Amino acid sequence: MTSAAPSSVARTAKDLERVLAESRSGFEVTKVKASAAPEWGVVDGSLQHKSRGFFSVVGVEDKSGAQSLLLYQPQGAVTGLLTAQIDADVCYLLQARAEPGCLGNAQFGPTVQSTPANFMRLHGGAATPYIEYFIAFEPGLTLVDDTTQMDLGLRYLYKTKRSILVEAAAPPPLQPSFVWASRQAICEACLESAFLNIDLRSILSIAAWSNDQSGLAPRDARIQRNLVAPVRAEALGDVLARLSRVSRHSAQFVPLSSLENWRQTEWGWSERVRQHGFDVNFFSVNARFREKSTWVQPLINSASDGHVILTCRECDGYLEFLVRVVSESGLATSAGLAPSYVRYPGALATPPEGYSAASVWSATVESDEGGRFYRDASRYEIVHIDGGETPSDGAWLRLSELKLLLRMSNVCTIQLRGVVSHLLGIELQ
């Protein structure tokens, strides 16, 4: 057992909010013209940083001739969460991250959220705090989880992130903008909008959950009981078989200038006719607590908000959740397991019939990744219905089954990982 000063651990979501407010100090984001970004330019038909170490904006065409504008960064990013026992409680080391695309400018992320370009310091900035716990051997560590997870399949081309959870024998000293959060604070924060970023929510959903107080436990006793519901081999086998039957996508790079529906402007790139509903614009950033204090970069800037719904029902005494097998051009495995309904920011679509009659169990508004998207936001909801039909691409899974799939590599989409985190905070009547 390790002791720490009470002020060093956030015990409630309100305690966390005070830390987050400090990280917003001195943070500014301003839209600028492309001419204000001399380190970025079109090289070999794609928009690249002069270091060639960051993401690129590329044109892609599939076998059918369909074209897309996507973000491409073949380096695998690292998202790592460090835990430690403090005063007999499992605590999590969070970073208050001010990012150009975040709603409210700052949200909590995991201990480390970094691409190799950042932690190798290609930008010339400061070292990434605590990165050594996730990319090198450190004594006194216990590796709890290490999986590879897919990112947004309609925004990125084959992007994956290595998701790592490690436990330290003793908590390391705190650096600026970091805070230890108790399990109670984490669960409360899961129901706060634009508070925990999508990468932190993803790791929390992947992590093993407990049905007692020995680990990360949902607040609601009924949800805890559903964690140990009998697992149906036929249900898991059906989902995995359907994922495996999706044909592998192929993507051919084409010059940005060859994209028929895109045009270059003084601000970046925009669609001639709205299809995907986003532009690529440039933004100047001043950040007090980041590895580099000032920079200019392109960001995806969507025309409208998105919507993510995970539907729940009761069957044979257990909670079941409706998931769907989806095929998206940018998914590393071509197919993934998604929530019941997903509308990307900028897209034009409406929720399925019957949604208006559902009981909303939880709802938050979340940013897409703050480092690549300018305040792109989606409403994340878990809703409860009586009965419920099964769409052709859907399957109803018990929570115990869903958790097994979440803990596998490259199965569940980032939207599904994000919305499942709500279950840690929900308190049912």
pLDDT for residue 297 is more than 90: yes
List, as one string, the DSSP characters of 290-355.
SSSSEEEEEEEEESS-EEEEEEEEEETTEEEEEEEEEE-TT-TTSEEEE-SEEE-TT----PPTTG
pLDDT for residue 1 is more than 50: no
Mind listing the pLDDT tens digit for each residue in 275-293? 999 999 999 998 766 666 7
Q: What does pTM read for this prediction?
A: 0.94
Q: Just give the CATH number of 6-28+74-212.
A: 3.90.79.40
Q: Quick one: pLDDT at residue 352?
A: 85
Query: How is domain 225-249+304-425 classified at the architecture level of CATH?
Result: Alpha-Beta Complex (3.90)
Confidence of residue 117 (pLDDT cuts 50, 70, 90): low
Confidence of residue 235 (pLDDT cuts 50, 70, 90): very high
Crossing angle for the helix pair 233-244 and 399-406, nearest 10 degrees?
40
Q: Quick one: pLDDT at residue 121?
A: 56
Place of tokens 């997870």: 149
The top-scoring range by mean pLDDT among 47-51, 245-249, 423-427 is: 423-427
Share of the chain above pLDDT 70, in %: 95
Torsion on CA atoms 93, 99, 103, 109, rounded to nearest 10? -20
Residue that wins the pLDDT comparison between 230 and 332: 230
User: How far separated are the first and last CA of the chain, in Å rounded?
Assistant: 35
State the DSSP code for 129.
T
Sign of CA dihedral 127, 130, 136, 139: positive
E strand or H helix that includes residue 198: helix 198-206
What's the full length of the chain, in residues? Answer: 429
> What does the pLDDT average to over 212-220?
88
Mind listing the pLDDT tens digit for each residue in 184-207? 999 999 999 999 999 999 999 999
pLDDT-wise least confident of 1-5, 142-146, 405-409: 1-5
Confidence of residue 53 (pLDDT cuts 50, 70, 90): confident
Task: State the CB neighbour count (10 A cutoff) for residue 21.
Answer: 12
Torsion on CA atoms 401, 407, 409, 411, rounded to nearest 10? 30
Confidence of residue 52 (pLDDT cuts 50, 70, 90): confident
Residue that wins the pLDDT comparison between 303 and 51: 303
Q: Extract the tokens encoding 218.
A: 């949902």
In the chain, ranges of CATH 3.90.79.40 domains: 6-28+74-212, 225-249+304-425
Confidence of residue 6 (pLDDT cuts 50, 70, 90): very low
Q: Quick one: pLDDT at residue 124?
A: 59
